[in-house]
Structures are given as C-alpha cells and as structure tokens.
Amino acid sequence: MGKIIGIDLGTTNSCVAFVDNGEPQVIPNAEGSRTTPSVVSFSKDGERRVGSVAKRQGVTNPETTVFAIKRLMGLAFDAEPAQKHARVVPYRVVESTRGDAAVQIEDHQYSPPEISAMILDKMREVAESFDAQRSATIAAGKIAGLNVRRIINEPTAAALAYGFKEKEGKRVAVYDLGGGTFDISILEISNGVFSVKSTAGDTHLGGEDLDNALVEELARRFEDSSGINLREDRVALQRLKEQAEKAKHELSSSLSTEINLPFIAADESGPKHLETKLKRSELEILVSEIIDQTLGPCQQALDDAGVKREDIDEILLVGGQSRMPMVQSKVADFFGKQPHKGVNPDEVVAMGAALQGAALVGDVEEVLLLDVTPLSLGVETGGGVFYKLIPRNTTVPTRSKEIFTTSVDNQSFVPIHVLQGERDMAEDNKSLAKFELAPILPAPRGVPEIEVTFDIDADGVVNVSAKDLGTSREQNIRVVASSGLTEEDIERIIGEADAYKTSDQKRRDLAELRNAAEALLYTSERAVAECRELVPEEVIAQVEADVEALHVCIDEGDAIAIKDALETLELSAYKIAEAMYGNVDLDAPVESEAQSDS
C-alpha cells in the first residue's frame, strides 16, 4: 500500500504533506517552494501548465490562465458569487450545458472540478517526485490519481496539526481565512479526541476580495491621473491584480510600499505608467469592512457551540490571509487574547490531513476525529414543510430515522425529497436529491409506515433510505456534494433563516393547520359515508355543513378562519360518535362466543 498524503487544495495556493517517523512533513515542489500556486494555464498549442509557471504566464496570457477556481466549485451560473467572480477575473466564466459555472478557454469548456483535478494531479506529482522509491502516492484515483481515504474540513485539519500530541483538555477556535473562503470552527481536544462543536463561515469571502478591493483602488487612482479606465483591459487588469497581491504581502511586514507598473496603458500622447505609494493604513481602510464580515460567523460558531469568548483557550490562524496584521488584530480584539503563532498558516492544513491519513493506516497513534454537519438535513412533508432529521452542527458520523405515512388513499408510491438548509418551508432550502419508493401496497391514507433513514459518514457523505415496513421494500440514494454540502454560503443561509424566522413560522403554521384540517376532513367524510343510516339526520346535516365550510376556508387560505372551522367540525364530528355509542354501556361485560352458545 502506498503512503498516505495530505493535500490542502487552496484557492490561492496548495500544499502537500506526509508523515515521516511520526512527524508531518511538507513536501516542497520542483521550484523548492513549500506551497504551489493553484493556477492552471493553457498555451496556444494546447499545452497545460500548473503552479508557478502557470502563474507567470498569466501576465501575458490572462485570458487562458485560470486562478481562484475553488470559488466556482458547486455554483450555478446565475448564482451571485459566480457572477461576482466573473466580473473580476480576466478569463471567461460561462454557463455549461448542465447549467453550472464553467471556464471557457478558446473553444473548450472546463468545469471547476476538472481544473481542480489538474491542480491535485500536480500535487500528486510533487509527492511522487519527492520520494518515488518510497511510493509516496502510487494508488490512483479517478481524476487525480489519488485513493481518497478520508475528507476532513480545513479548520479540523489545522487543529490536528496543532494538537496532535496535546494531552490536556483545551477548547480551540480555528480561524481560517484563505484566498477564497472563510471558516471558523470551535473544537475540543482531549486525550487524542478531536471533537468539532460547531462550524460557521462564508464560502465566498477571502483574500481574493481584498485583492479586488485594492485593484479597484489602483484603477481609480490611475483613471484620476490619466483619464484611462484600466478595468476594460484584461491584460492591464491582470497586471494590476498581481501587483495588488504583491503590495498586500509587503504591507504585512512594512508600513508602506511603492507600486510601479510601467507601460500599463497608452493614449495619443504616448505610454502611461502607474506610479503610486500605498500605506498600510490606506489598505486597512479599504479592507476593514471585508475583514469585519468574518466576525459575525465567529459569534455564530460560539453561540452554536454554547461557549463564550473567554472560554476559548487557543485561537489558531489558518490561511495565508491571516498573516495580515489587521486580521490578527481584529481576531485578538474579538476573542480577547492573542492568536497562537506556532503553526505555519500556509502548511498546517496539509500537515493535519497527513496526520489523519497516517493515523488511518496505523503509522502514528490513532486519533478520534468527531466532525459536524454544517447545515440541517431533512425531507419535505405534507404542505411543503421541511422536516429536519439531522440538525446543523450534529457530530458526524451520525444516523437518524423517522416514520412517515401516506396522504392519499391507495397511494402507489411515496416521493422522497431530500433537502438541506435552515428554513421552515421546503421550497426555501436547497434540494439535494429526489427519489421514489414504489410500489407500495394499496391502503387508506395514514396506514402505511414508511421509515426514512439519514446516515452521514465521516466524510459528510449522506446516504438516505426509505423502507416500507409493511413489505420491507426499500430504496436509497447517496448524496455527494461537490464543494461542501451547499452551493451557497452557509452563513448566508443561517442568516436568512434568522431574518425570515417569523414569516417562515407563519407559513409553517398555516401548512400544518391545512394538514390537520385535511386529515379531519378525510375522517369526517368517511364517518358520514359509513354511519349515515345509524345517526340522526340533523347530526349528519350539521357535519356536512361544517365539512363544506372547512373546505371553503382552506381554499381561501386564512389561518384564523381555518382554525375556527376546524374546531367547529371537530365538535360536530364528535356528535356522530356520541350518537353511535351514546346508548351503549361501555362498562358492561362482553360475552364471548362460547359463553353465548352455552
């Protein structure tokens, strides 16, 4: 069996590591760098380049150089993050035949997973070339030549690298601000057990947004001085972006930097140069609001974990953007203590992944990793209500089951609609899958028992099954999300759930009221049909009138009217039972057949 490697597939840079003699080791690439740019470029003759070479080519061929592809993973083309990304990159972002976002290079389309696979393949090559004799990664995967043993989220991997040998109980906050995403996780570490208590974040917030803010500022300065708009020039835009990234890095260690871009544009008077000075304080003013957006998810994660800021023992910074002094300052102010600086934010994720991989094959002491699911999972029930089987921040692996039934007489199949989100109504959440349990035996509504089971494994893969307990017939489906379990930002979903909590509750109450009303209509109409000859006419007439009134209220959709009509029908329907059993002595002994014959 080949060695297990850990890979951090980052938005800006990627890193690969393995465990040697019980210690995680980052593998340098061919250029000697411990991280590799997550950039793929295509030459005119069809040659593909990945990493530093591709990044350098981006200056002269920006339209065929793809970077920050991770931001498009799992996004529909018309999603707001996809549209925003398309506005600030020089390459073309288009709609694929499947309706999701893709990259157009010349006459060929590439999906985000395809581009990511090219980067992963590059990381595999880095590992193999580092130590071919030791078979660092011989096992081949479907796309990148990797045998994936376990998927863990980045903050958890970082905590593994930090606390792998930690024996004392500690509560850790992992603040992960990378090139394209932000994550915050609260973990408890004790005696080799890593338990994720909560996770939150913003899947479309990262260093790229800071770069774009600085690009816009540089373009504005140049336009003010020359009257030329660089935003329409893709080559100039790429040069601005590279200079912005460089300036941002320099301002992490110095108070000011010079920006010089000769021959950035030209007009009838000749070539134009961009020459300006940028202070750290000016950059901080530009990006302060962007960094502040990370603090809301931090509070959300604390609330979900049921802890206070002062309960956190250590704060780990992960991701290259966390090197920025302003980020470190805001994190320190929020948690009331300085972040831990004993780990390299660019390498810690890959090292943690490598440690988990080594533990899986027994190369190092075993660790128990308890992760959580970031959003609630459930199914659609009658009236379009979202029924949660697994609440968000439930520790995985986990399993949950519930019994449901039919809503129509002689129903031949049961539709199962699997959803994810925090809203009360199914239509407001993300649809993950739909399937049918069929055929089921004909029966009156409410009689069949359909057991729905959700099973989430350690990688966050969801297996959903539906079983007819009467016939033991079963159907199941495996739900595998492409980039996290949602295509939208988790924090935005949670925020929407809070913002629409009152209106969603009213819609849910109305739906559940309709369900109760329809159930009562069903039993009342059956009772009238079966007992008409045994009950006084005035009772039957009253029930029929109340049934008609409830039908009208349901059609009109007024909750108060439905509730009043429901209560009225309940009272009149009881009269059928009273008429049927009113003269029967329920306490009298019932003779058996043998006794009556004697």
Query: Annotated catalytic sites, by residue?
Result: 8, 70, 154, 176
Assess contact for 401 and 452: CB atoms under 8 A.
yes
Assess contact for 520 and 570: CB atoms under 8 A.
yes
Quote the CA–CA distance of 106 and 83 in Å, as a whole number. 20
Q: Which amino acid is at 17?
A: A
In 310-411, DSSP assigns E strands to 314-318, 368-372, 377-381, 385-390, 395-396, 398-404
Give the DSSP letter string of 119-181. HHHHHHHHHHHH-GGGTTT-S--SSSS--------HHHHHHHHHHTT--S-EEEEEEEE-SS-
- Residue 595 buriedness (CB in 10 A; 0-12 / 13-18 / 19+): exposed
Paired sense of beta strands 108-110 and 101-105, if any = antiparallel
CA 154-167-5 angle, 5° bins: 35
Choose among 454, 457, 379, 385: nearest CA to 420: 379
Assess contact for 102 and 94: CB atoms under 8 A.
yes
Q: How far is CA 191 from the centre of its chain?
A: 29
Quote the CA–CA distance of 236 and 247 in Å, as a whole number. 16
Coil, helix or strand at residue 160: helix
Tally of residues, the chain: 598
Quote the CA–CA distance of 78 and 56 in Å, as a whole number. 31
Give whole-number Cα distances, 82 to 92, 112, 372, in Å: 11, 11, 27
Coil, helix or strand at residue 53: helix
Give the DSSP letter string of 193-224. EEEEEEEEEETT-SHHHHHHHHHHHHHHHHHH
If one counts every other C-beta atom within 10 angstroms of the C-beta of residue 161, the result is: 24
Quote the CA–CA distance of 561 and 553 in Å, as a whole number. 6
Quote the CA–CA distance of 293 and 306 in Å, as a whole number. 21
If one counts every other C-beta atom within 10 angstroms of the C-beta of residue 369, the result is: 23
In 114-181, DSSP assigns E strands to 170-177
Assess contact for 141 and 116: CB atoms under 8 A.
no
Quote the CA–CA distance of 173 and 339 in Å, as a whole number. 9
Choose among 418, 413, 417, 399: nearest CA to 471: 413
Choose among 310, 317, 348, 312: nearest CA to 331: 317
269 token code pair: 């008077």
201: left (phi over 0), alpha (psi -120 to 50) or beta: left
472 token code pair: 């033991």
Assess contact for 359 and 368: CB atoms under 8 A.
no
